[in-house]
Structure 1
Amino acid sequence: MKITIKDKEYDSGAFTIAKHQAVVKAWNACEGKDLFKEPYTEEQLKELSAAMALCFGLKPEEITENVSVEEITYFFYGIQNETINKFNALFLEVEENFTNGSGELPNELQPDN
């Protein structure tokens, strides 16, 4: 994913284990929250900002001072969507290579019945 802060673009790069763990921990801490009906607490926003900062190689205050709550929330939905799309593309590639695009196992891999 990419964000722009003060006319400079940042790319989150690979979704590493450390990034994944930070994102999941922050997002789970906000489960059931809503932008208006049950808004995030200051502590939750700090945790979301810290996880987002880690993903982009920034300091948490660079996020809290320059990124809107809507953009922070969008990042978490976006990173989930991007990860699912990458997984699906990898899965389809493996399936296509493994089954030669037919959806059937090659003869040499068919179980002997």
Structure 2
Amino acid sequence: MPIERLEAERNVSSDSPRDITGDDARDIAGDATGDVTSDKGDISEAVIVLTRHIERLEAELATAVTDRDASRMQAAQVDILNAVLEIERTRLTEARQEADRWRELATAPRGLWAWLRRPA
């Protein structure tokens, strides 16, 4: 919840006609039924507001958990793809070495003696 909204709700509740912090004799010896009724109303309003906040936070939490799970799955896929890429790089290096070895054999100078010494 944005801090501005909390401050606005705090200002609205502090502007109420009841003085919660006062030590006035009317507050202590005043009409007991009026205080009880307004306290129940304040409590039920607070419960309603807090219930809405909890529901909203639960929805946001569910969304965050879903996003987190998707991010973890994507990270796992990236790790797997990096491993496959490393294997393919190794295979490419081996294939280049093999091609270089064959090229050296194919381009090696052969003389008459190499031709004569070759196995039949």
When the two structures are superposed, what TM-score results if normalisation uses the length of structure 1?
0.34
Q: Higher strand fraction: Structure 1 or Structure 2?
A: 1
**Relative contact order: is structure 1 or structure 2 higher (C-alpha 8 Å, sep ≥ 6)?**
1
Asked which structure has the greater CA Rg, the reply is 2
Report the TM-score, using the length of structure 2 for normalisation. 0.32
